[in-house]
C-alpha cells in the first residue's frame, strides 16, 4: 500500500504519541506449515488459529495453491481455525504423473475429503475460488451436514458466470485435437499467468510478483502441463453438475457469501448474483478488482467474512453484543465492516458514550471533535450514505499495543454527485476500552475527497 507523505507523517506522530516503536502485529496468530500423507501422496497445507474455534477451509484455484491465501489466513485466524491445502499437482504437494494419478475434479475432491477427515473436522465453512468451487461443491453435496457456510470468491457454479474466455475450453471438450490442445497450452505460459494477476485490477502494482512467480514454478515443472490439460478437459463435468449443486443449495440452504472481483475475465459478476436464485438471502458484494481479488482487497474481504460468519455462526460475538473482552483490533475491524455494509446501528453500537472523535481538518465532514455517537450518526454516517456509493474504509495493516490501534488503509467509493472514484490513503489512531471505541483520530490528505464531493 502506497501512503502519502502526509499520512506517513501523521502516522509517525500518532505512533510516537502512543509509545509504539515497532510495526509488528503482535495479535496475528502464527501460520504453521505441514505435510501429511493422504492416499499415498504428500499433501502440503497451511494452518492457523485455535482448533477449538469454528474452522474455515480455504480451497484454492488455478494455477495457484494455498499460497494465494498467505495474507488472508492470519486475518481470519484471529477469530477462526483456518486450513488451506494444496491439491495434488499444485503448490508444494506431490505431483504424480497423469499415468499414475487420475487428474479429475472427482478425484481431487476425494483426496481433499480424505485430508479433512484425517483432521477429524466434524463441521467447517468453505472458501471457494476458481477450482476450489467444483471441489468445494462436491464436498457440500457429499456432506451437507458438515458445511456451515459457503464463501465464494470468483468460485463459479452457474452457466451465467462463464465468460466468452471459456470458448477454447468448450472447443477442447468437443474435440481433443492437437489444434485445440495447442490453444489451451497457451494458458500455461508466464504471460497468461501474469494476465490473471493483472486483468481487471485497479492497479496491477498492488500484486507482489511472488504470487505469479510461485504459480508459474508449478506450471513449469516437468509433466505439469499434462496435469493441467487433464483438468481442463475434465472441467466440463463441473458444468454438467451445476444442476445438482443448485438442487443441494435449495435443499440445505447454507449461508452463502459471494465476494467477487467483478472484473474477472473468466468468471462474470452474473455468476455471483446467480447464487440468489437458489439461496435468496445470499449476501453479494462485487469488488472493483480481478480474478485474484485477495491481491488487492484482502483486508476488505476479510472484514466481510468476519462479519458474515459472526452473524451466521454466532462466533465471534456480533456487533449487537459487543464484548468487553474483544481484542481492540477486532473491534476496529467490526467498525470498518459495519461502515462498509452501510450498517449505521452496527457501527454506533461499537462506540462509547461519551468519546472523542476527530476527523482531519478540511475533511468535508470535519466540524471539530465530536463527543457522542449521535453526533457521529448525524455529522458523519448520514452524510457518507448520502454522498457516496459503495463507500468502504479498507484497512490493510494494523499496529496494535494495549488498548490502542493504528490502522493503515484506503478510503474507496464513488461520489454520487459527480461519479468520481476515490482511493485515498489514511492512517487512523483508535483507543478501545472494554470492547468500545473511546477515541478516534484521522490522518489523510483530504484533497481527493474534497474534489469528489464538490
Question: In the chain, what are the helix, strand and coil shares in percent, each to the nearest 5?
Answer: 45, 25, 35
Q: List Cβ<8 Å contacts ≥24 apart for 346-351.
A: 346/319, 346/320, 347/319, 347/381, 348/373, 348/376, 348/377, 348/381, 349/319, 349/320, 349/322, 350/319, 350/322, 350/436, 350/437, 351/376, 351/436, 351/437
DSSP-derived letter for residue 323 is: -
Helix locations, 262-397, DSSP H: 269-273, 275-278, 294-313, 328-340, 344-348, 373-376, 382-387
Q: Please report, to the nearest 10 degrees, the dihedral formed by the alpha carbons of residues 27, 298, 91, 100 taken in order.
A: 120
Query: What distance in Å separates the CA atoms of residue 261 and residue 285, rounded to the nearest whole number?
Result: 9
- Cβ atoms within 10 Å, residue 196: 24
- Residue 166 DSSP SS3: helix
CB 348 within 8 A of CB 400: no
Please, what's the b/e burial string for 24-43 (b: 16 or more CB within 10 A of its CB; e: otherwise)?
eeebbbebeeeeeebeebeb
Active site residue 291: yes
Phi and psi dihedrals of 401, rounded to 5?
-150, 120
| Beta carbons of 163 and 267 less than 8 angstroms apart | yes
- Options 60, 81, 291, 307, the catalytic residue: 291
Q: 194 φ, ψ to 5°? A: -60, -40
Kind of pairing, strands 32-38 and 55-59? Answer: unpaired
Q: How far apart are CA 385 and CA 61, in angstroms?
A: 35
Q: Which H or E element spans position 401?
A: strand 388-401
- Strands of the sheet containing 124-128, edge to edge, are 32-38, 41-48, 81-85, 55-59, 124-128, 147-152, 256-261, 283-287
Q: Please list, in sequence order, all residues whose beta carbon lies within 8 angstroms of the beta carbon of residue 427, skipping any fewer than 6 positions away.
A: 3, 7, 8, 10, 11, 14, 406, 407, 408, 442, 443, 444
The answer to whether the CB of 85 falls within 8 A of the CB of 43 is yes
Which three cell numbers, joined as nine digits, stand for 389? Answer: 456509493
Backbone angles phi, psi at 356, to 5 degrees: -120, 120
Write out the catalytic residue numbers.
291
Amino acid at each position: 500500500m502506497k501512503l502519502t507523505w502526509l499520512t506517513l507523517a501523521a502516522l509517525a506522530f500518532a505512533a510516537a504519541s502512543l509509545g509504539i516503536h515497532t510495526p509488528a502485529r503482535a495479535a496475528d496468530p502464527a501460520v504453521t506449515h505441514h505435510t501429511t500423507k493422504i492416499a499415498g501422496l504428500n499433501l502440503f497445507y497451511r494452518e492457523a488459529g485455535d482448533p477449538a474455534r469454528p474452522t474455515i477451509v480455504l480451497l484454492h484455484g488455478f494455477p495457484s495453491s494455498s499460497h494465494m491465501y498467505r495474507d488472508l489466513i492470519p486475518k481470519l485466524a484471529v477469530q477462526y481455525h483456518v486450513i488451506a491445502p494444496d491439491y495434488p499437482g499444485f503448490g508444494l504437494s506431490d505431483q504424480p504423473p497423469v499415468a499414475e494419478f487420475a487428474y479429475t475434479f472427482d478425484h481431487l475432491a476425494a483426496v481433499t475429503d480424505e485430508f479433512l477427515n484425517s483432521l477429524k473436522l466434524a463441521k467447517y465453512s468453505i472458501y471457494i475460488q476458481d477450482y476450489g468451487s467444483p471441489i468445494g461443491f462436491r464436498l457440500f453435496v457429499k456432506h451437507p451436514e458438515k458445511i456451515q457456510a459457503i464463501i465464494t470468491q470468483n468460485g463459479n457454479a452457474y452457466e451465467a458466470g462463464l465468460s466468452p474466455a471459456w470458448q477454447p475450453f468448450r472447443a477442447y471438450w468437443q474435440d481433443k485435437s492437437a489444434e485445440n490442445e495447442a490453444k489451451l497450452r497457451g494458458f500455461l505460459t508466464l504471460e497468461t499467468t501474469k494476465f490473471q494477476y493483472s486483468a481487471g485490477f485497479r492497479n496491477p502494482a498492488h500484486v507482489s510478483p511472488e504470487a505469479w512467480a510461485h504459480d508459474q514454478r508449478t506450471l513449469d515443472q516437468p509433466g505439469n502441463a499434462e496435469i493441467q490439460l487433464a483438468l481442463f478437459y475434465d472441467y466440463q463435468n463441473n458444468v454438467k453438475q451445476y444442476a445438482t449443486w443448485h438442487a443441494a443449495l435449495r435443499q440445505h440452504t447454507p449461508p452463502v457469501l459471494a465476494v467477487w472481483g467483478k472484473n474477472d475475465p473468466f468468471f462474470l459478476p452474473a455468476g455471483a448474483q446467480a447464487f440468489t436464485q437458489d439461496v435468496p438471502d445470499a449476501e453479494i458484494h462485487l469488488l472493483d478488482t480481478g480474478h485474484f481479488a485477495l491481491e488487492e482487497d484482502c483486508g476488505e474481504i476479510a472484514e466481510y467474512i468476519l462479519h458474515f460468519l459472526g452473524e451466521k455462526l454466532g462466533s465471534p460475538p456480533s456487533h449487537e453484543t459487543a464484548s468487553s473482552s474483544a481484542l481492540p483490533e477486532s473491534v476496529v475491524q467490526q467498525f470498518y465492516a459495519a461502515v462498509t455494509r452501510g450498517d449505521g446501528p452496527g457501527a454506533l453500537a461499537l462506540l462509547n458514550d461519551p468519546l472523542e472523535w476527530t476527523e482531519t481538518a478540511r475533511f468535508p465532514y470535519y466540524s471539530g471533535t465530536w463527543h457522542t455517537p449521535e453526533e457521529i450518526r448525524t455529522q458523519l454516517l448520514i452524510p457518507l450514505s448520502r454522498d457516496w456509493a459503495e463507500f468502504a474504509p479498507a484497512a490493510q495493516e494494523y499496529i496494535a499495543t494495549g488498548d490502542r490501534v493504528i490502522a493503515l488503509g484506503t478510503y474507496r467509493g464513488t461520489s454520487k454527485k459527480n461519479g468520481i472514484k476515490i482511493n485515498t490513503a489514511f492512517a487512523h489512531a483508535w483507543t478501545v476500552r472494554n470492547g468500545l471505541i473511546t477515541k478516534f483520530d484521522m490522518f489523510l490528505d483530504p484533497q481527493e475527497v474534497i474534489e469528489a464531493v464538490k
